[in-house]
Amino acid sequence: MAGKRRSYDAEFRAGAVRIVTETGKSAAEVARDLGVHESTLQNWVHRARTRADAEAAGGLSESERDELRRLRDENARQRKEIAELGMERDVLKRSVVLWVKEATK
């Protein structure tokens, strides 16, 4: 029977990755010290390095992607609102034209 899957918070993962990258110890050694499976720690280190490489190459960080997604959603909502306001304005213009025609008869 398989054991219960453990979860680690982001702070713990970041600390473990920092130990590997800053001390020069192998991932296997740090994993044994922390009681984490070696491949799990290697995955964390790989993801951290990939993220760092993307940021260094001018890519967007995770928080920047979140902000971009939020801004795009807000932009779409505002475009929809502008289109609705434009339609309302057109209806009002037509109403004024009809009202003027009726008033000048």
Q: Domain map of the chain by residue range?
A: 7-59, 62-105
Residues 6 or more apart whose Cβ sits within 8 Å of residue 68: 60
Query: Is residue 4's pLDDT more than 90?
Result: no
- CATH class of segment(s) 7-59: mainly alpha
CB burial class (10 A; 0-12, 13-18, 19+) of residue 20?
A: buried
Work out the widest C-alpha separation in the chain, in whole angstroms. 94
Query: Lowest mean pLDDT: which of 20-29, 46-55, 70-79?
Result: 46-55
**What type of residue sits at position 64?**
E
pTM assigned to the model: 0.53
Sign for the CA dihedral angle at 42, 47, 52, 54 comes to: positive
Q: Please write the tens of the pLDDT for every residue from 17-45.
A: 999 999 988 999 999 999 999 999 999 99
Residue with the larger pLDDT of the pair 89 and 6: 89
Q: Flag whether pLDDT at 1 surpasses 60.
A: no
If you average pLDDT over residues 58-78, what whole number do you get? 89
How many whole angstroms separate alpha carbon 67 and alpha carbon 59?
14
Please tell me the distance from the alpha carbon of residue 25 to that of residue 17, in angstroms, as a whole number: 11
CA dihedral 38, 61, 21, 7 (to 10 degrees): -30
The pLDDT value recorded for residue 2 is 61
